Amino acid sequence: MKNVRNSFIKNFLLIVSTAVFAVGMMAGCKFEDNKASANNSYKPTDSNTAANRVVDQEKIMEQYQSLLKNNASLAEIVKFMDGNVSQVSSNNAVMIVDEFEKRQKEFLPEFEKKFVENGDIQSKMAEAFLQEFDISKIDSIEDEELQMLLKETKESGYKVETAEGTFFPVINYEVYKKYSDYVTDDFREYINIMAVESNNTPAKDAALVISWEEILNRALKQEKFIAGYPDSIRIDDIKGLYKRYLSFTLFGLNNTPLFSYDSNTMNSEAKQAYVDVLKTNSKDSGYLKILRDYMSLMERNGYKLTNEVKKYQEQVIEKLD
């Protein structure tokens, strides 16, 4: 009887332990299945991510075209650019910034009217700018009309310039620099060149307001762009700018002539700047060759504006046309 009882207990314990083990195995398997299911519920692949980016870019570009089509204000376009240029490809970024610049140029004549239609605006600006006004401190202006105009100017990507006592808006290319990391190499360099122009204009009131050395260095950078990016969408713009600087190099300006009106003698500061640039740039480029030939010719002519020098000036300009 005792043996039967012991046998029953052993069999019972065996059944219980087997059942517990089985339940544990089932629970373990279920946990692993759930874990695997959770881990594999969604893993974005490179192709999925790329596809999403394409869709996002398409939406962004469609939204941008809609803004342009609906004649959104420049300020609205700037706001859109700030939030979206970083999300698209470099080529799409160029398309966005390019269209914005075109729109700025197109609207500029209308925007200029806001500076002259109200006679009080010019006098109010004169008063503000005589006090070394900083356009970033618009809120400090008490006159509401002037404050609103300057705010619109800034938000539209323009800045205020003055010449011959008149204030007017110009494109502020320094603003474009916040998009430089997202555009193509050529457009980035275009922005850099144009920012130099808008930050420090080369001429005012028919006079050069930058040094002769700066004239030469800017021309060299423009020439480098032309040589490095012949297929750029901004190649014609830089060629036009380069031609202007070549004219500065050969003639100066009416109120800053390269040759004195009285003696026809070359400006001494310009002469020194030209000599120095030729010394520091041993490798000839097209521009440097023009400059080197020009200086050699003037040395033979005693640095005077002779007929021979005038003929050379004309030949150089004609070749660019």
Please write the tens of the pLDDT for every residue from 289-307.
999 999 999 999 999 999 9
Q: How confident is the model at residue 52 (pLDDT cuts 50, 70, 90)?
A: low
Q: Could you report the per-residue pLDDT of 216-255, keeping only the tens digit for each?
A: 999 999 999 999 999 999 999 999 999 999 999 999 999 9
* pLDDT given for residue 127 in this prediction: 85
Tell me the range of 21-25, 48-52, 187-191 where mean pLDDT is highest. Answer: 187-191
What is the average per-residue pLDDT within 113-127? 88
Q: What is the mean pLDDT of residues 5-13?
A: 37
pLDDT of residue 140: 80
Tell me if 275 sits within 8 A of 296, measured CB to CB. Answer: no
Burial class of residue 214, CB neighbours in 10 A (0-12, 13-18, 19+): middle
pLDDT at 318 over 50: yes
Q: Please state, in angstroms and rounded to a whole number, the distance separating the CA atoms of residues 79 and 147.
A: 20
